[in-house]
Structure 1
Amino acid sequence: MMRFLLFVATLLFLPIGQAQPLLHGTLIAEQAAGLAQPHDAALSPDGRLLYVTDMANSRIVALDAMTLKTLGTFGAGELSYPHDAEFDARGRLLVADTGNDRIAIYEVNGASARLVGELKGLAAPEGVAVTGDGRVLATNVRSGSVSVFRGDKLVASVGQQGSRDGEFSHPHDIDVGADGTIYVVDSGNNRVQVFDSSLAHRSSFGPELKLNGPKYLSLDAGRIWLADEYNHRILLLDHRHRLLGVLGTSQPGRGANAFRKPEAVVARAPHLWVVDTYNDRVLLLQVTLPDLQGR
């Protein structure tokens, strides 16, 4: 027993990139009824509702954020394989409507919504984000690029298919930090690319984490949560992109801390919503974080 404890202690204090502590999530709620390959989700601005992109059902499902009770659905007949969703400063829900090559714009009122606009000229968008100055950013899987909108006008396109800095292969999520830093999950290249607010490339990370098909991330209080789909795990990184811990067993499973190809995570400490895509469910976990002092 003493030898085992010494072994565990050694693992927990190895340098970043060699071994990291497993995180533990306490299950608060689970929702699986009727979902079919859910891909991502967005918390309402007041944090009370969770809007899930129910991809294979081509709709949005509105859940109570803390119980995961289904409150309603919308978008059926309007959306085609939606992947991502994000609120803008006006409280409208922007949906990456992948099969329709657009961003669909909804005015939402609780579990009901009305389609009020669209951003067109996209190529299978799977990620959408809003910058502090109101620009809308969308990733294009088919063209390997990021589109930039001001209002309803497409004003720029950044990147192309490839593996060099600023190029993409099957880009999925895009998100904006509080300081304006832009993150693009470059899924086909198993990395995340980091850009400044003008979309000039700053850095990349991923190979050192042995990512395998990363999809969607969530930024929370300077930390990054990243769904690493084909490794069946969720990673927690610090602001320097160093690994702090892992949720999941790295093998497909189904439990509070076991997932099957999870594609997304939404974080608002101490809560974590995991979109466990190929178990057709959403989980709400409470996660005890490692000591981040000095990180």
Structure 2
Amino acid sequence: MIRSDRQNEMPKGVDFLKWFAILTVLIISSISLLGLSVTFEKSWGSQGNKDGQFSDPQGLASDGKDFIYVADTLNHRIQVFDSTGKHQMSFGRFGSERGEFLFPHDVVVDSKGSIYVADSQNGRVQKFDNENKFVKSWGSKGAEPGQFDGPMYIAIDGADTIYVGDAFNQRVQVFDGEGTLLLTVGAKVNMFEAMNPGNLASISGLSVDSNGNIYVSDDIMRRIQKFDSQGNYISNWASTYEGNWGQPGESVVDRFGNLFFINKMTSMILVLDPDGNFLFEWGGVGTTSGLFTKPFNICVDGKDNVFVLEQLGNRIQRFKINY
């Protein structure tokens, strides 16, 4: 269940029954079947364009070294924080030149500290070094190999391979760190064909596990599909979920191979084991700690912390995973 050091305090001016109802929602919405739970630790962020503020943020990543990167979408910039929420730096501005962004949608960081940004409306991926200096970009608007129509999601594996969710082309394109196309998963199909296993109607989330398996959320078909490292279809997890499936959004895989993903309909975070079996869920709609206002992205760091980015709430919440 969700726990907080402040959970037993009675806030001044808050009716007892209202406070009790909030606690009840937090407890009931956190169902742990195998001992897995999370503890709320802290949150940061608000609406605005100053350092540490957000406007419709949609991308979130950890570098595994205590730094959190946010694609602050409507502010057309990347912000960097330490794991406690202290602002470290920002870079980027509105535009289409090198180092500029037009609605950056997602971000990842490789093992050398290089930063890759899904620059959605510019139809490209931009790469920056560990000092936030522009290195290169690749892609343009289109449907040919290496082109993008809505590069809205980006993931990275342990070999620093880059996976780009090319949303409106209904595919995932896989590149090395220099932008060389290695693999494509999915293709443009109609909605009837998109129902078939291995096809994509949409891309609403993207992650990769330590074995190179690729997980693609499809909020139109309301399923998550799993592909191997060569792009071969493995399984469809919609049919195995024991609860309210809803619309799967962004996802991340922890060190044990468990998949954490956002249910866009309920604002819950769900956890599945490596075989797709339901383990745990928490959250719900709200503005108090442990509840979410349109959660959009999620990441984990190397210390068993999970971070949830709220698009409309304009904040990040950090939780400790208790295994």
1:147 and 2:173 equivalent?
yes
Change (3 A) 1:135 1:24: closer
1:115 and 2:142 equivalent?
no
Cα shift at 1:41: 1.1
Matching of residues 21-100 of structure 1 within 5 Å: 23-32=37-46, 33-46=52-65, 48-65=66-83, 67-77=84-94, 78-100=100-122
- Give 4+ residue runs of structure 1 displaced > 6 Å after superposition: none
Q: Give the equivalent residue in structure 1 for 2:10.
A: none
**How far, CA to CA, are the matches of 1:155 and 1:178 in structure 2?**
18
**How far, CA to CA, are the matches of 1:270 and 1:178 in structure 2?**
16
Asked whether the equivalents of residues 228 and 263 of structure 1 are also in contact (C-alpha less than 8 Å), the reply is no
Cα shift at 1:133: 4.9
Change (3 A) 1:143 1:12: closer
**How far, CA to CA, are the matches of 1:133 and 1:275 in structure 2?**
26
Match of 1:263, SS state, is: strand
1:187 and 2:219 equivalent?
yes
Change (3 A) 1:271 1:132: closer
**How far, CA to CA, are the matches of 2:163 and 2:249 in structure 1?**
16
Q: Which runs of 5+ in 1 are unaligned?
A: 1-7, 290-295
Instruction: State the number of aligned residues.
Output: 269
1:239 and 2:274 equivalent?
yes
Cα deviations across residues 108-140 of structure 1 (Å, max 9, x unaligned)? 33xxx1121112011111112234555422111
In terms of mean alpha carbon deviation, does 88-97 or 147-156 score higher? 147-156
In terms of mean alpha carbon deviation, does 204-213 or 274-283 score higher? 204-213
Would you tell me which structure has more strand in proportion to its own residues? Answer: 1
**How far, CA to CA, are the matches of 2:196 and 2:292 in structure 1?**
31
Cα deviations across residues 206-230 of structure 1 (Å, max 9, x unaligned)? 2534333322111112221111122
Change (3 A) 1:191 1:24: same
Cα shift at 1:187: 2.6
Q: Which runs of 5+ in 2 are unaligned?
A: 1-26, 47-51, 95-99, 140-146
Asked whether the equivalents of residues 120 and 150 of structure 2 are also in contact (C-alpha less than 8 Å), the reply is yes
Counterpart residue identity of residue 199, structure 1: G
Q: TM-score with structure 2 length normalisation?
A: 0.75
Counterpart residue identity of residue 99, structure 1: Q
Cα shift at 1:232: 0.7
Q: Give the equivalent residue in structure 1 for 2:322.
A: 288
Counterpart residue identity of residue 31, structure 1: G
